[in-house]
Amino acid sequence: MKRPATDREVKPKRNDDDQELTDADVAQQDGVDNAIFELVQQLAPDNADNIEWDIHWIGELRDLIQHVIVDVYHCCDEFEFYPYLDYPSALTEIEQIAGELDAKHQRRMLLMAHALLKEQERTEHVA
């Protein structure tokens, strides 16, 4: 059983509004994720039909496998192994905007942004 087909929403790469994953990039991602899913099914053949596609555990295994392939054996770089788009964090965007303000307003904006992000993290952990 292969990964279910999905409508993939592709967002622009940082500082490059025209950047998106190519069909080859998406095929590479799908190939890696499918290989991991199939490996788990092969390692548990008696339960293979009960193993459901779940990107959370697939992603955890992908990170471990990527570490071995990219960092230990240097077979390819991170992007070649699993192409991705680089998104700026909310805090990075806020810091960039704050850089255009005077010092007094920069500090105030950054303190507010940090407080909002901490509150968001706290409520996500509670939920």
- Judgement on whether residues 62 and 121 belong to the same structural domain of the protein: no
In the predicted structure, residue 101 carries a pLDDT above the cut 80: no
For residue 61, the model assigns a pLDDT of 97
Distance CA 98, CA 109 (A): 7
Ramachandran assignment for 14, one of left (phi > 0), alpha (psi -120 to 50 degrees), beta (any other): beta
The DSSP bridge partners found for residue 105 are none
* pLDDT, averaged across the chain: 79
- Judgement on whether residues 43 and 95 belong to the same structural domain of the protein: no
Q: Stretch 20-29: mean pLDDT, rounded? A: 92
pTM of the model: 0.58
- Judgement on whether residues 53 and 115 belong to the same structural domain of the protein: no
- The DSSP string of 27-79 is HHHHHHHHHHHHHHHHHSGGGGGGPPP-HHHHHHHHHHHHIIIIIIS-SS-HH
For residue 109, the model assigns a pLDDT of 73
- Could you read off the pLDDT of 30-73 as tens digits, one per residue? 999 999 999 999 999 999 999 999 999 999 999 999 999 999 99
Domain hosting residue 95, numbered range: 90-126
- Judgement on whether residues 100 and 50 belong to the same structural domain of the protein: no
